[in-house]
Amino acid sequence: MSDLVVEARNLAKVFGRGANQVEALRDISLRVAPGEFVSLIGPSGCGKSTLLRLIGDLTAPTSGSLTVNGKPARQARIDRDYGIVFQKSTLLDWRTVTKNVELPLEIMHIDQRSDRAAEMLDLVQLGDFGGHYPWQLSGGMQQRVAIARALAFRPSLLLMDEPFGALDEMTRELMQQELLRIWHETETTVVFVTHSIPEAVLLSDHVVVMSPRPGKISDIIETGLPHPRDEDTRESQQYYDKITEVREALRQERPA
């Protein structure tokens, strides 16, 4: 077993061929240690989501190497080493909240699914909503169910692709605090894609700054903010300083 959850070396991704070829990522090297919260940030089209999809084996790299828990990404997917949460909750409207959380456990033929689903719903503070259907919940509550589902089989890695991007600002801030709480309680490693600089700084141990396409890692900024992070953190000078540091790193990557 590797002492790294994610290790990418000289990773590249090209889509298409000939005149339609698009170089999405170039020479990506990244190391994510167990228990870390790492955010990927950069301009639209820089390949943040593509990199996340490579880690999750939802697409294959053109060149370079990538391991998850010391294994090829494909084997890690087969072994269910990670859960994924997308911008849309992708819940099944015809299944109750409990049955949505149980879905990956059913696929994996894991017993005692109802107990595990109840545990996960308690974790995301929705223990009283197991019998509801997704359409009866707010957007933030649906995303909490999606997080519960992604964690139901105890993955070592949680991949999150702009999970709060469609939420209003107040709900988004609430979900950020909820995610920090869940992360501390589960000690799961998180790789998180976002367009929001304040969100990346608040949540992360490290913010990975990416350049315009072809996406490259231009900087990795350690936030160093103390835990727990709460409303006082949002008002601290260190928080504002780190936001400025990330913003300046992104500004340097803008085309002339």
- The long-range contacts involving 245-248, CB below 8 angstroms and separated by at least 24 positions, are 245/221, 246/41, 246/197, 246/200, 246/201, 246/207, 246/209, 246/221, 247/197
CB atoms within 10 A of CB 195: 13
Strand 82-85 and strand 71-72: pairing? unpaired
User: How much is the pLDDT for 1?
Assistant: 47
* pLDDT at residue 245, as a whole number: 97
How far apart CA 2 and CA 156 sit, in angstroms, is 12
Q: Is the pLDDT of residue 221 over 60?
A: yes
3 versus 54: the higher-pLDDT residue is 54
Bridge partners for 68 per DSSP: 6, 71
Q: What is the pLDDT of residues 27-46, one digit of tens each?
A: 999 999 999 999 999 998 89
List pLDDT tens digits, range 126-175.
999 999 999 999 999 999 999 999 999 999 999 999 999 889 999 999 99
Q: Which CATH architecture has domain 6-81+157-252?
A: 3-Layer(aba) Sandwich (3.40)
CB 250 within 8 A of CB 212: no
Tally Cβ neighbours within 10 Å of residue 214. 19
- Structural domain boundaries of the chain? 6-81+157-252, 90-154
What average pLDDT is seen over the chain? 93
- Name the strand (E) or helix (H) holding 217: strand 217-222
Q: pLDDT tier at 2 (50, 70, 90 boundaries)?
A: low
Q: Which residues pair with 8 in a beta bridge?
A: 30, 66
Residue 226 preceded by cis peptide, ω within 30: no
